[in-house]
Amino acid sequence: MDVLTERGEMVTGLTPQDFKACFHRTPVQFLSVTPNQSPQHFVIAIDASGSMTFDRSAWQYSLDVARDFAAGLPPSSEVGLAVFSTHVLKLIPLSTDRAKLNDELALLQAEKEPAPKNERETALWGSLSSLFDSIPLQEDDLLFVFTDGEENYSKTHLGRFTRTLCTRQIRFFAFSAEAQLTGGAPQTGIAALTPNALQNLQDLADSTGGYVLHVSRDGVGSLPVRVDKSGRPTPQGQLVLSQFQQAYWFNRVQVELAEPIKKPHAWNLQTHGLTARNVAVVSPRSLTGCAAPWHTRTRLPRHHI
């Protein structure tokens, strides 16, 4: 869980007294709020289907962001890479070898068409679901997908993929850059291809405590620069950095509930008494049961977020 200011900066030094929540209309007791110290696995998944690669400027922009994200990962964290279209085209196992990761992303940028001509449809949910057969993602790990949300080939449904992420307690992040149609008009949000494509990504992030960022073009059709001439982040660049920070670091929250969680259920979480105003809480919008057996816990069920 993270708490962000209006500028996208993370609020630190949080305590249980800074939060209040209800679950099944019953108040939730907050026991602890601590920065996560556990090693994490990160998987960067690149959508190389036709809807992503036809506009080279948007494609290169997304890959630049992916390379910057990889460069900022904690050195001790293992990271894997997947490239997909109708299926997973390339899979790099989890490793701390950042040089190899950067080389693979550079090769991807140099390729004109990463996916073969007859494999440029998008099996978004199916390809991502298949990663769990090859990469041992576990609780608190992160899946960062660079995609426009287009889906036209999967046999796996969004609902099933969402349940998989929630059950495994894996955070979902996504980044997309607005493509431009031939002739100069921006392809508004890709929604022209798949209704609710970006909303589906946002719903996944909301369900898992993740973050989705979509970069739009300006009035003359240009994607925003992320660093100004002095080397400082622009407002858009700051949003990207904020997304990275939430991926790299988060708070682990332990709460006590009045009853066991039988199935995922929404909860009402708010901050309480913080000096910073107009803050936003980024956390799973539903609570799911913990993996530990009930007999190993105290009298009331506890839950980690």
Q: Is the pLDDT of residue 174 over 60?
A: yes
CA distance 130 to 83: 12
Q: Which two tokens stand for residue 138?
A: 């576990």
Q: Is 272 exposed, middle or buried (0-12, 13-18, 19+ CB in 10 A)?
A: exposed
Which token pair is 242?
């904020």
On the question of pLDDT at 115 being above 50, the answer is yes
- The model's confidence at residue 8, banded by pLDDT at 50, 70 and 90, is confident
pLDDT top residue among 182 and 141: 141
Range scoring the smallest mean pLDDT among 33-42, 43-52, 84-93, 94-103 = 33-42
Instruction: Identify the weakest region by mean pLDDT among 157-171, 226-240, 268-282.
Output: 268-282
Question: Domains of the chain, with CATH numbers?
Answer: 2-36+252-304 (no CATH), 41-248 (3.40.50.410)
The whole-number average pLDDT for the span 95-102 is 95
pTM of the model: 0.84
Long-range contacts of 186-193 (CB under 8 A, 24+ apart): 186/216, 186/217, 186/221, 187/55, 189/214, 189/216, 190/51, 190/148, 190/149, 190/150, 193/51, 193/148, 193/150
Q: Region 123-140: what's the mean pLDDT?
A: 94
Whether 258 has a pLDDT exceeding 90, the answer reads no
Between the alpha carbon of residue 261 and those of residues 193, 254, 265, the distances in Å are 38, 14, 8
pLDDT of res. 302: 42
> Which strands make up the sheet holding 78-84, listed edge to edge?
88-95, 78-84, 41-47, 142-146, 171-177, 211-215
Residue 283 pLDDT > 60, yes or no? yes
- Which residues touch 159 (CB under 8 Å, ≥6 apart)? none
Q: What is the overall mean pLDDT for the chain? A: 87
Answer whether residue 149 shows pLDDT above 90: yes
